[in-house]
Chain A
Amino acid sequence: MTTLQPPAAAGPRPAPPPARRDRRSWTGWGFIGPFVAVFALVFLAPIAYSLHLSLFRDQLIGGTTFVGLDNYQQALRDERFWDALGRVSLFLCVQVPVMLGIALLVALALDSGRLYGKNFFRISVFLPYAVPAVVATLMWSFMYGTRFGLVGDLNDAFNISLPDPLSPDLVLAAIGNIVTWEFVGYNMLIFYSALRVVPNSLYEAAEIDGAGQIRVITAIKLPAIRGALVIATIFSIIGSFQLFNEPSVMQKLAPNAITTDYTPNFYTYSLSFSGQQHNYSATVAIVMGLITMVIAYVVQLRGMRKGV
């Protein structure tokens, strides 16, 4: 993960010499100390406590016992956990490319200078990011209703019969749509900002070579923003694996399609809050955290090495 830090990242061009640093001293801690202190309190301590919890089992009848690594063994054999992981993996493989693809296309369109009303586009596509996930999900859920919601209204108006977005087959896509809606603009902006600073000289060279638009995009623009693409992908992976708000709000409307173990994060939540299985919940969370880290790390390495 440390490769995320700027000086370590490999890029298309040779890295310039790193900024000269002051002699190695503790001065830096004076500045980063406050962050680290709060971080330790709100992240590390709960994680540590979770690790501690994961070694015990607490029963309604019988109290707490030390069980060593039993919870981990149970997690590795837990079908509900693996099903949930499979589901978010599917989500990841479909939703993330779609979302990033749309974001990239819009960013390229904006950057091409060939759009009418560019500024309006840029800010409008970004607006959904300001809508709280809970509100966004409530809004979309209202619209998804096939009987009395917008989908129903459309069915009535055009005398068609759209499939129910909240049915078990489609609900994952319905969630994917909400997440895409929320974050397309955000990612678009990241890509667009990266595109904005591609140096002019590169374009001029391409022009002299007589390269067409497509060639400019594949040969210059995409390599130039590869760092942004990789990091957006990594954060999207973490986001997908932690999918929670959207399914949990929608569960009230589609209780049979969205089970309490729908995503790993939802599963840990249900274990903890409905089942009082804090210990096992902590175990699942730790396993999930490790898997996420490993995958994000692999993507990072591959993304940085391979050409786009």
Chain B
Amino acid sequence: MTTTVTPASAGSAASPPSRAAVRLRTPRRPHSPGRPRRSVLLTVLTGLVLLYSLVPLVWLVISATKTQEGLSRSFGLWFDDDFALWDNIAETFTYGDGVFTRWLLNTLLYVVVGAGGATFLAVLGGYALAKFDFPGRRAVFAVVIGAVAVPGTALAVPTFLMFSTMGLTNTPWAVIIPSLISPFGLYLMWVFASEAIPTELMEAARIDGAGEVRTFFQVALPLLAPGIVTVSLFTMVATWNNYFLPLIMIKDPDWYPLTLGLNSWNAQAATAGGEPVFHLVVTGSLVTIVPLIAAFLLLQKYWQSGLAAGSVKE
């Protein structure tokens, strides 16, 4: 389960912004008199890391231009004679009665409801942890982190049996409900809210007679905006890339998310009478990550400032 709801799983290493980062309010430097000299050597060295990051993606893009046969016969990092990208994309969307479109829409549903809900719960929870002293407050986060440490694959069967009893398996809810929890999001919002919302402002609102709900929506929420964008991007990635949980919960291809659908295409090659469609797996993978990358690029400004929580001004 954790494999699906937190970026900390699957060998990831997530880290919320540090406390030190958050505390400091000094405006950002241009740090010394006179900008530092640009260094070719340093650029080249960092360029190696860049190359490392991009080569596999280049491979994916190039491979997506090849036919099933072309994939087998041509050099991995160069184009085949047939340029089939557009055909592949068209085939990806029409193959199997256009089931890919259905998977895409499912994924969108899971992302909007699941990641949206996860962000909302994390914002509420983080706000509570940061701004209220309530009984059990300290226990909450201890339990959250403790639970994350338990291997998620082993929880899959108990979760499946529970969900099955509740009649949730094979429905979108089986994917959405577990996606609603983002421990990392909760932590990020906690850190963010303690810095971004001055307690004085909340008190002023209360003196004006605003209830807790109105204080939250009118005073707190606008101040939390950059943090919300950041958390929603991370929950979006987690939901978009969710694989293990749907694998267990969803048996009806009509409710597959993209990752599971692609995997079923990949597995098709291993079936007696099945047709290998590696070219569609590759093209489908590309189509799957393009929206995420686009979202990251478009929203760069917001999430980067959200991460650097300290850059928020009151």
- Residue numbers of A with Cβ under 8 A of B are 1-2, 4-7, 9, 11-13, 15-16, 19-32, 34-36, 38-39, 41-47, 49-50, 53, 95-96, 99-100, 102, 105-106, 109-110, 112-117, 121, 123-136, 138-140, 142-143, 148-150, 153, 157, 179, 181-187, 189-190, 193-194, 196-201, 203-204, 207, 224-233, 235-236, 238-246, 264-266, 268-269, 272-273, 278, 281-282, 284-286, 288-289, 292-293, 296
- Is residue B16 contacting chain A, with contact meaning CB distance below 8 A? yes
Question: A296–B63 Cα gap in the complex (Å)?
Answer: 41
From A114, A200, A232, A245, contact of B243 by CB (8 A): A245
Q: Which residue of A lies closest to B11 (CB)?
A: A179
Residues from chain B with a CB closer than 8 A to the CB of A125 are 49-50, 53
Q: Which residue of A lies closest to B23 (CB)?
A: A16
Q: Which residue of B lies closest to A23 (CB)?
A: B133
Q: Are B46 and A109 in contact (CB under 8 A)?
A: yes
Q: Are A228 and B56 in contact (CB under 8 A)?
A: no
From B7, B121, B137, B288, contact of A186 by CB (8 A): B7
Interface size class of B (residues with CB under 8 A): 35 or more
Q: Which residue of B lies closest to A280 (CB)?
A: B154
Q: Are B132 and A138 in contact (CB under 8 A)?
A: no
Q: Are B56 and A183 in contact (CB under 8 A)?
A: no
Sorted nearest first, the 10 A-B pairs with minimum C-beta distance are A227-B18, A285-B154, A28-B132, A28-B134, A289-B150, A236-B13, A31-B128, A199-B26, A200-B29, A228-B18
Q: Could you list some 19 contacts between A and B, CB below 8 A?
A: A5-B190, A11-B20, A21-B132, A27-B212, A29-B128, A41-B177, A43-B144, A46-B1, A46-B155, A109-B42, A132-B241, A181-B56, A190-B17, A224-B20, A239-B14, A266-B153, A281-B157, A282-B158, A288-B151
What secondary structure prevails in chain B residues at the interface with A? helix
- Is residue B86 contacting chain A, with contact meaning CB distance below 8 A? no
Question: A100–B14 Cα gap in the complex (Å)?
Answer: 11
Q: Are B162 and A29 in contact (CB under 8 A)?
A: no
Name the distance in Å between B151's Cβ and chain A's nearest Cβ: 4
Q: Are A153 and B76 in contact (CB under 8 A)?
A: yes
Decide: A245 near B244, CB < 8 A? Known: A1-B142, A126-B296, A193-B307.
yes
Name the distance in Å between B124's Cβ and chain A's nearest Cβ: 5
Decide: A269 near B153, CB < 8 A? Known: A115-B39, A197-B24.
yes
Decide: A272 near B153, CB < 8 A? Known: A42-B181, A242-B2.
yes
A sample of 16 more A-B contacts (CB under 8 A), given A95-B11, A121-B50, A203-B31, is A12-B20, A19-B199, A20-B199, A25-B133, A31-B132, A42-B180, A50-B150, A115-B43, A115-B46, A116-B40, A127-B293, A134-B243, A142-B76, A197-B26, A285-B155, A289-B146
Q: Are A203 and B142 in contact (CB under 8 A)?
A: no
Name the distance in Å between B72's Cβ and chain A's nearest Cβ: 7
B7-42 CB contact bits vs A (8 Å, 1 = yes)? 111111111111111111011110110011111101
- Is residue B289 contacting chain A, with contact meaning CB distance below 8 A? yes
Q: Are A272 and B154 in contact (CB under 8 A)?
A: yes
Q: Which residue of A lies closest to B27 (CB)?
A: A200
Q: Are A6 and B134 in contact (CB under 8 A)?
A: no
Question: A114–B148 Cα gap in the complex (Å)?
Answer: 39
Residues from chain B with a CB closer than 8 A to the CB of A35 are 121-122, 124-125, 181, 186
Among B127, B152, B153, B311: residue with most chain A CB under 10 A: B153
Among B10, B45, B304: residue with most chain A CB under 10 A: B10
Question: A124–B150 Cα gap in the complex (Å)?
Answer: 33
Q: Are A34 and B154 in contact (CB under 8 A)?
A: no
Decide: A130 near B293, CB < 8 A? Known: A200-B27, A235-B14.
yes
Q: Which of B55-83 contact A (CB under 8 A)?
A: 56-57, 59-60, 63, 72, 75-77
- Is residue B161 contacting chain A, with contact meaning CB distance below 8 A? yes
Decide: A113 near B134, CB < 8 A? Known: A133-B243, A186-B13, A264-B151.
no
Question: A224–B22 Cα gap in the complex (Å)?
Answer: 11
Question: A132–B243 Cα gap in the complex (Å)?
Answer: 9
- Is residue B272 contacting chain A, with contact meaning CB distance below 8 A? no
Question: A228–B154 Cα gap in the complex (Å)?
Answer: 30
Question: A117–B39 Cα gap in the complex (Å)?
Answer: 11
Question: A280–B80 Cα gap in the complex (Å)?
Answer: 51
Residues from chain A with a CB closer than 8 A to the CB of B60 are 139
- Is residue B94 contacting chain A, with contact meaning CB distance below 8 A? no
Q: Are A44 and B14 in contact (CB under 8 A)?
A: no
Residues from chain A with a CB closer than 8 A to the CB of B14 are 186, 190, 232, 235, 239
Question: A49–B160 Cα gap in the complex (Å)?
Answer: 11
Question: A30–B59 Cα gap in the complex (Å)?
Answer: 50
Among A99, A240, A265: residue with most chain B CB under 10 A: A265
Q: Are B190 and A225 in contact (CB under 8 A)?
A: no
Q: Are B127 and A31 in contact (CB under 8 A)?
A: yes
Residues from chain B with a CB closer than 8 A to the CB of A2 are 138, 141-142
Question: A307–B91 Cα gap in the complex (Å)?
Answer: 57
B136-173 CB contact bits vs A (8 Å, 1 = yes)? 11101111111111111111111101100000000000
Decide: A9 near B13, CB < 8 A? Known: A35-B122, A39-B144, A102-B49.
no
Among A231, A235, A264: residue with most chain B CB under 10 A: A235
Name the distance in Å between B159's Cβ and chain A's nearest Cβ: 5
Decide: A132 near B132, CB < 8 A? Known: A42-B177, A227-B19.
no
- Is residue B109 contacting chain A, with contact meaning CB distance below 8 A? no
